[in-house]
Amino acid sequence: MSHPVLAENRETAELDYMALDKVIEEDFNNDKENLIMILQEIQRRYNYLPSPALTYLATSIGVPLSQIYGVATFYSTFSLEPRGRNIISVCLGTACHVRGGEKIREKLEGSLNIKDGETTEDMRFTLESVRCIGCCSLGPVIKVNEDMHGRIAYTEVDMILEKYE
């Protein structure tokens, strides 16, 4: 269940300008009022905001590039760094914490050989801790892309990871 990608090579982020045009023009009407939603869509496709896409966007909707970077850096949900094909959010909010969320994070760090906030070398996973993803009764919870995994034991972590290419 990997995330949709447009770029063949995620490292160099070879942009698909036709797809970008579709998002900017058709989906969001070339309207700078839709800037945040356009950025969300670009990030959904690439898992981060490639700088050539932001430059192209600035020209397309007539907004200074500095303003676009201002928005992109203001919201913590946006990333300017390449991220993995699969984003793992491990919840360390109070409800998940008391049910072993920290142990799940440690297990993820060990299995992936990365720390919180890092991306595996093969760009398969990015691991991020979050403070509540809204399903506290299912704690401890991890979210992989759009998939929620609740009431998980650390012994189940590797099995879950195997599902994602």
Residues that bind ligand FES in the complex, under the rule CB under 6 A: 91, 93-96, 132-136, 139, 141
The CA distance from 78 to 97, in Å, is: 25
Residue 140 Cβ vs ligand FES, minimum distance, rounded to whole Å: 7
Residue with Cβ nearer ligand FES (132 or 160): 132
Residue with Cβ nearer ligand FES (84 or 139): 139
Residue 143 Cβ vs ligand FES, minimum distance, rounded to whole Å: 9
- Helices 65-74, 35-46: inter-axial angle, 10-degree rounding: 70
Name the one residue in this structure whose structure tokens are 């401890």.
140
Residue 111 Cβ vs ligand FES, minimum distance, rounded to whole Å: 20
Residue with Cβ nearer ligand FES (52 or 117): 117
What are the distances in angstroms from CA 33 to CA 4, 39, 66, 137? 26, 12, 16, 37
Residue 137 Cβ vs ligand FES, minimum distance, rounded to whole Å: 8
The CA distance from 49 to 89, in Å, is: 18
Residue 2 Cβ vs ligand FES, minimum distance, rounded to whole Å: 24
Residue with Cβ nearer ligand FES (36 or 132): 132
- Between vectors from CA 45 to CA 13 and to CA 77, what angle results, nearest 5°? 100
Beta-strand relationship, 125-130 and 86-91? parallel
Residue with Cβ nearer ligand FES (45 or 149): 149
The CA distance from 162 to 164, in Å, is: 5
